[in-house]
Structure 1
Amino acid sequence: MVGAGNIARRFVTGLEHVDGAELTHVWSRRAEATQAFAEQHGLSACGSFEALLDADIDAVYIATAHPSHAEYSIAAMRKGKAVLCEKPAAISLPELESMLAVAREQRVLFMEAMKPPFYPLYRRLREHLAEDPIGTPNFVRAGCGVSNYGPGLPEFDLERVGGSLLDIGIYESFLAIDWLGAPRDVQAFGRLGGGVDVFASVNSVHEHGVAQWYCGLDLHGRGDALICAPHGNVTIDGPWWNPSTATVSYKDGRTVRLEAPFVGGGLNYETAHFCELLAQGQIESPVISHDMSRHMIDVVDRSRAALGL
């Protein structure tokens, strides 16, 4: 693992629920943090990133701030290591393309760590709609505001490519694309503060419909999601990106309540999927495909441009 911050700690907790996977080495730019993290979790603390890549490992999880994702991912893949990279995988579509080019060249597994589709509830919802459909979805509404961020954090720092769209909006972008298909057009309105987007409201047109979603760093939002189709609709209760309950409402009056609790904090489900792909010798996820990653960052790129970023 590269990184020893909050997301790294959550990853360790989740890995306890992934059979056949073991975390063995860690490195971060802060030597003291690396050593403390390694001692706490029984890992080998690497003195350099190069030492980490030279270790006897199969894959690297990138758990650093998103401006560094490309550098670490490319270096790991050029060493023949599979990469599970925290979202957003890249800070722009051109940067992502440079990462995917190396993945193709080296024929190694690369996957963006976008967790929602692997949760038990999300999978149960897909299974239920296959058995008792509501038709092809043509509208998605979602959003989240997290107002407990404070000044001085990376989310408010332009030099560290902060902002609500990359930090939160990438989730909403995924949801719209997952249910409505590839993006066709994007409009965005919002507020800037300190050079970053502190709030964005996005309308996106997709292959099969329209999405309306928002993300913010200076407000407290609900975090639920609505998916509408000709014969019914779905409400995923908030926080929809860590889903455990949903309601399917049919136009004939029927209502179906779905419940599926999760364990391990949730990162374990995407990690288990990644490990299965690695064991099978796959180089791309059919769920979070390279095209999915392209579409997600494309929507964010176009939204940021519309706000003048």
Structure 2
Amino acid sequence: MVKIGIIGCGRISHRFMQGLAAVVNAQYVGAWARRAENVQEFTAKYGGTAFSSAEELLASDIDAVYIATLPDSHAHYSTLALNAGKHVLCEKPSMVNLQQLEPVLALAKQKNLLFMEGMKPPFFPAYRKLREHLINDPIGDVAYVRAGSSVADLPPDHPNFSYEGIGGGIMAILPYEVFLAAEWLGNTLEMQTLGHIADNKVDMFAIIQSRHEKGYSQLYCGFDLHGKGDALIAGTQGHITIHKNWWNPQKVTIEYLDGRIVTLDEPFAAGGLNYETEHFCQLIQDGKTESPIITHHLSREMMRMLDLSRAQIGLRFPGE
């Protein structure tokens, strides 16, 4: 069993616990957060130890931590955990920028520990089934990705609207879309971003066009419009639609140039975070220090795309 502690007790940590209950090779130990009342509420609901500090949690007999704080502190807690000899599963986006990510990846390599960004879509059953299907029945060379989501019904106090907490559409939603573009199309060669920054100092809507080694992508993200939330992957012999909500993939339609249509419908369980967590724990048990799916190179490329997008609309966060 991989013993896991949690840093951060906000919304995403509750979804993580829903998934963790379905992971057979993981054991929850306890949690810590910056607000003591959140820790008490969390451990009252899920059990485990309510640690009084991050240092106390990291000094316990856990093997790994799940970092579920806002992105402003991902680098700090990842560094603390790695220096304490613990493997790290860090919620997306991995850091505020590439300048923060590089030393964390270097530290993980130095310490011979696993650092993995929490990017859930590729671990869902439907996405895995899609990848397996395409091995024997491909859609040719993939050269175009279109994906996005805009969520217009978040409450005003949602952390995605926090400038200090590194909020906004680019940091909260676009990580999923840049994952899809970078995974299917390779490194980014050119990018164009249009968007607007609201009075709360975070971006409320942005559209992104990018040119990659293998083709082109068109992406969007935001909070003041209601978007569809599906994804399109186009190749020379067909195209794939991952139906909404594509980042929690369940239904996939593959339409071929010869007229064939293949539908994949693979329900997911326990909220979906269980699949990435199971993968993370298996890597630890196998002695691996990097995921072959969410590689360090892929995390770098996703972070670089977020950096470029923000730079092009003039969005800088505290300390940058």
Q: Report the TM-score when normalising by structure 1.
A: 0.98
Aligned to 1:250: 256
Decide which of 26, 31, 45 is 2:31's aligned counterpart: 26
Q: Report runs of 4+ in structure 1 exceeding 6 Å deviation.
A: none
How many residues are treated as equivalent by the alignment?
309
Shift of 1:63: 0.6
Aligned to 1:306: 312
Aligned to 1:36: 41
Aligned Cα root-mean-square deviation (Å): 0.9
Aligned to 2:206: 200
In the alignment, the residues of structure 2 paired with residue 240 and residue 135 of structure 1 have an alpha-carbon distance, to the nearest angstrom, of 22
Decide which of 217, 227, 232 is 1:226's aligned counterpart: 232
In the alignment, the residues of structure 2 paired with residue 248 and residue 196 of structure 1 have an alpha-carbon distance, to the nearest angstrom, of 36
Contact kept, 8 Å, 2:143 with 2:216, in 1: the verdict is: yes
SS in 2 for 1:23: strand
Shift of 1:55: 0.5
Aligned to 2:50: 45
Aligned to 1:7: 12
Moved more, 215-224 or 149-158: 149-158
Aligned to 2:318: none
In the alignment, the residues of structure 2 paired with residue 136 and residue 16 of structure 1 have an alpha-carbon distance, to the nearest angstrom, of 39
Shift of 1:156: 2.2
Q: Please list the CA deviations of residues 33-90 of structure 1 after superposition, one character each: whole Å capped at 9, or x if unmatched.
A: 1012112111111011110001110000001111111100100000110000000010
Is 1:164 the counterpart of 2:176 in the alignment? no
Aligned to 1:149: 154
Q: Please list the CA deviations of residues 150-209 of structure 1 after superposition, one character each: whole Å capped at 9, or x if unmatched.
A: 434332232222110010001100000111111111110011102211111000111100
In the alignment, the residues of structure 1 paired with residue 192 and residue 160 of structure 2 have an alpha-carbon distance, to the nearest angstrom, of 22
In the alignment, the residues of structure 2 paired with residue 270 and residue 243 of structure 1 have an alpha-carbon distance, to the nearest angstrom, of 13
Contact kept, 8 Å, 2:150 with 2:229, in 1: the verdict is: yes
Decide which of 72, 79, 100 is 2:84's aligned counterpart: 79
SS in 2 for 1:135: coil
Decide which of 279, 287, 293 is 1:287's aligned counterpart: 293
1:162 counterpart letter in structure 2: G
Q: Please list the CA deviations of residues 99-151 of structure 1 after superposition, one character each: whole Å capped at 9, or x if unmatched.
A: 11111111100000000000000000011111111112000001100112243
Q: Report the TM-score when normalising by structure 2.
A: 0.95
1:203 counterpart letter in structure 2: Q
Q: Percent identity?
A: 51
| Structure 2: stretches of 5+ with no match in the other structure | 1-5, 316-320
Aligned to 1:140: 145
1:83 counterpart letter in structure 2: V
In the alignment, the residues of structure 2 paired with residue 153 and residue 276 of structure 1 have an alpha-carbon distance, to the nearest angstrom, of 33
Is 1:100 the counterpart of 2:105 in the alignment? yes
Is 1:125 the counterpart of 2:130 in the alignment? yes
